[in-house]
Amino acid sequence: MKKITVLLLIIITSLSSCNKDDDNLSSDKIVGTWLLYKEVDLTDNSVYISGAFDEKGIFNSDGTGIGYVDNSDCGCYPDKGWPIAWKNLGNGNYNFTVIGIAVTSKVDFIGNDEMTIEHDDWVSYYRRE
């Protein structure tokens, strides 16, 4: 549950500032639809395969988007998803502000169709839809 909450904190975001770099968002590799397929707990290297919750993030070229968690079994998240905003800080660091909480995470791209988002104690793996 902690991992889902932090993921939601990352994908439910709003931009806090604008600058000249915002003009180049359409070429950012994060733009697109991403599906979570596994997570690795860095404290003990446990691997969790996605399935209990189907998580999807849609990152638009204007720095906005929406995040979804299919929670038909628990009913603990809204079905309509959450608004996303994101900012590439450079050097693989992205700023996400979620429900008023600012989070900076390391994002690595593996080719054009996979990415990882590193959190404090785990890494989430995504594939482009």
C-alpha Rg value of the chain to the nearest Å: 14
CA separation for the pair 114, 50 (Å, rounded) = 15
Which residue, among 113, 101, 95, 120, has the nearest Cα to 39 in the 3D structure?
Answer: 120
Q: Would you kindly state where each structural domain of the chain is located, as residue ranges? A: 2-128
Mean pLDDT, the chain, integer: 77
pLDDT band, residue 51 (cuts 50/70/90):
low
Question: Is 63 a residue whose pLDDT tops 90?
Answer: no
pLDDT band, residue 92 (cuts 50/70/90):
very high
User: Under CATH, which number does the domain 2-128 receive?
Assistant: 2.40.128.280
Distance of CA 30 to the CA centre of its chain: 9
| Helix, strand, or coil (residue 24) | helix
pTM above 0.75, yes or no: no
DSSP-derived pairing of the beta strands 93-98 and 101-110: antiparallel
CA separation for the pair 120, 129 (Å, rounded) = 26
Question: Is 9 a residue whose pLDDT tops 60?
Answer: no
Q: What is the dihedral of CA 108, 33, 62, 15, to 10 degrees?
A: -60
